[in-house]
Chain A
Amino acid sequence: MSEARNAILARVKGGVARSDDDAARRAVAERLAGHTRGLQPKRIDLDQEALVDLFAENAQAVDATVSFINSAADLPEAIADYLRSRNMPALAAIAPHPDLDGIDWSAGTMEVHRRAPEANDRIGINRCFAAVAETGTLVMASGPDSPTTMNFLPETHIAVVAASEITGSYEDMWDRLRSANRGSGEALPRTVNMITGTSRTGDIEQTLQTGVHGPKALHIVVVKEG
């Protein structure tokens, strides 16, 4: 369909009023390479500790629950507690992420299956790339250790993020993701998911209902150290 491509581009070129094509091309190249930020909201002018609080506050405002633990070793117990409080079985699919591998899950009497989620898994656990305080948003980056389906298939999604990974703005997060990916051969992961609260819909009489296709519950565990 290169015929269609050329025809569309020719029509677009004819439609944009431009006197200097070369200058315009340079301006575009500069903009694409520049990553110039727009206006950053003042609400994120905070130190790291306050950003973590703002993140938790904003995430809770969109029906996520948040718990804090001191180290990754406390994860099994924290997650088992959460599941018990919801009357849910301590049985979960877990992303094969190195940060989640070295943990003794039996400590919380948890049974975890290290794989991508299957259709009938009720609970999924994975590791965030980062989180954004501005709106209480989790950021998940796809990869061999982070199957994207973990964010959507299970009814209960449990996401683990380190306090130090919480950024103020989305732009701070993108910069970190760009540098984390440098050297991987790809500019960015295949899929980046920003998750702000649980699955919801207002499609029946504009009345908010949660958990239509994705998770009905989102629990975020913030690890304070490491």
Chain B
Amino acid sequence: MTVHHLTSRDFKAKSTAALEDAVLQGNLVKLKDNFLARRTKAKESLPEFEDLRDASVVIKKHTIAHLDFYLEAFEAAVTASGGRVHWARDDTEARAIVLDICKQENAKTVTKGKTMVGEEIGINPFLEAHGMTPIETDLGEYIIQLAKEPPSHIIAPAIHKNRQQVAALFNEHHPHLEHRGDDDVDGMLADARTVLREQFLKADVGITGANFLIAETGQTVIVTNEGNGDLTQLLPRVHIALAGIEKVVPTLEDTMTIMRVLARSATGQEMSSYTTFSAGGRRKGDLDGPEAFHVVLLDNGRSKLLGSPTEDILRCIRCGCCLNACPVYGKIGGHAYGSTYSGPVGAVLTPSLAGLSEAHHLPNASSLCGRCEEVCPMRIPIPKMLRHFREEEVASGKAPATARRGIALWAWFASRPGLYRAMTSLGTDMLSRFGRKRGRFSSLPMAGAWTATRDLASPQGSSFQSQWAKRSKS
């Protein structure tokens, strides 16, 4: 079974479609007023926020530099508390491990908390193909599971849907429940609670992700707001936590430092509603909890990033903040990226893990404005990495011919200053003369792709170089 969850081959067509999707555009506009504005507020009410970001970077850098030792320590601690660690080199191995555990349990219903690694390895269709019923229990994930779509945001998977679409999906899939009007959001919530509560109670295995793996204690940590992750891991006989190998941190103290920037960066909350630390299975005298506890550690290309120009992306804690800040994500949404990971982090992770040939559009779909790095709690230099991929693309000769010819032409002029100045002043002069009256162009020869969706401002006054020359003289 081949899975293509880390690929972005249809980026151009999908981003064009996204721009024409009125619902998506409406929802994306709200990102700034919601997540991003709340992040700013949370940051302002914690004076230590910037220092905590620095401290978090130091913790993750130290961990990544000693990743092998911390993974070994984590495994030992999980085993000591009665759990079991499984290692998966790639998605195929990870799926096989999960299937094996589910088969041993004779599992029929498998509930799921939100897990991006689960998306990355394509666990749902795989379990379905083996006769099991995976049920997403995070409200956003449940909505998109009904719609048979992948998540379009790391922490808000159904951000592309409006309430009318959710009502339609619920009415179609919950025929036994009351019909919900478009604005009956409370009713939809009640339905999700009713339907999913039944699934929680009958599930045989529960699968969650993990925000952190703590080497000191062997705990896996999930950070959620709904409580679905907890019911997922508490009620079935078996809990499986899926995590990338980069999720390990040394101690509880280190975890709490990073925790102080995680929710604030993600949703602007000081703390998410539920932060849960799990170690092993049910103990003597316990009245509830899973009997068995498994952790699946996934590599899937991560280890080869160590020592590479994109090593720093391993610091990512999947808060989704760079998506909220990105002007490109803000126009095209998550599905356009094709890959499980969208936005700025996806534009680095996808080519890093799967190779540039799978995602060569992504590093180019950026103005390198730097907002992602500015807001990233882990201060990951995403623009630098995007530039690295652009250089790699040019060096390998795989850049599109028009781009290569255009840059070559520009370089030819740029290395002849006299000619370059003459050409640019001529261009500026012409544009400013023809555009003076309106101040902008709504169409221009050879610039149709630009002017089709926006105007080009006409230059005001003379070029930078001629102004510079004039000022230097005086």
Residues of A bordering B, CB below 8 Å? 1-2, 4-5, 7-9, 11-18, 24-25, 27-28, 31-32, 34-39, 41-43, 58, 62, 96, 115-116, 119, 135, 137, 142-144, 147-149, 151-153, 169-171, 174, 186-207, 209, 211-215
Contacts and interface: CB of A to CB of B under 8 A. Distances in A.
A64 to B, nearest CB: 10
B205 to A, nearest CB: 17
A200 to B, nearest CB: 5
Given A28-B69, A31-B251, 9 more contacts: A8-B245, A24-B65, A31-B250, A39-B55, A152-B227, A170-B259, A187-B217, A196-B274, A200-B273
B306 A12 contact: yes
A150 to B, nearest CB: 9
Contacts of B189: 201, 204, 209, 211-212
Contacts of B354: none
Nearest to A169: B256
Interface of B: 27, 30-31, 34-35, 46-48, 51-52, 55, 59, 62, 64-73, 80-81, 86-89, 93, 97, 137-140, 143, 156-159, 161-163, 166, 185-186, 188-189, 192-193, 196-197, 201, 215-217, 219, 225-228, 230-231, 234-235, 245, 250-254, 256-257, 259-260, 267, 269-289, 297, 299, 303-308
A3 to B, nearest CB: 9
Contacts of B51: 39
Contacts of A9: 68, 71-72
22 contacts: A7-B89, A14-B306, A15-B303, A16-B64, A16-B67, A17-B65, A27-B66, A28-B250, A39-B257, A41-B260, A119-B197, A135-B271, A143-B285, A144-B284, A149-B235, A174-B256, A200-B226, A202-B34, A206-B30, A207-B185, A209-B186, A213-B196
B226 A213 contact: yes
A142 B81 CA distance: 14
A37 B281 CA distance: 28
B287 A115 contact: yes
Given A174-B252, A174-B253, A205 B163 contact: yes
B283 A204 contact: no
Given A16-B68, A204-B166, A206-B156, A187 B81 contact: yes
Given A171-B256, A209-B189, A214-B227, A201 B139 contact: yes
Nearest to A196: B271
A81 to B, nearest CB: 25
B452 to A, nearest CB: 30
A94 to B, nearest CB: 12
A176 B275 CA distance: 18
A204 B185 contact: yes
A147 B286 contact: yes
B299 A215 contact: no
Closest CB pairs A-B (n = 10): A214-B227, A15-B306, A144-B285, A203-B140, A38-B257, A11-B303, A116-B287, A5-B87, A196-B271, A194-B275
A206 B283 CA distance: 39
Contact of A16 (B158, B259, B307): B307
B227 A171 contact: no
B227 A213 contact: yes
A214 B270 contact: no
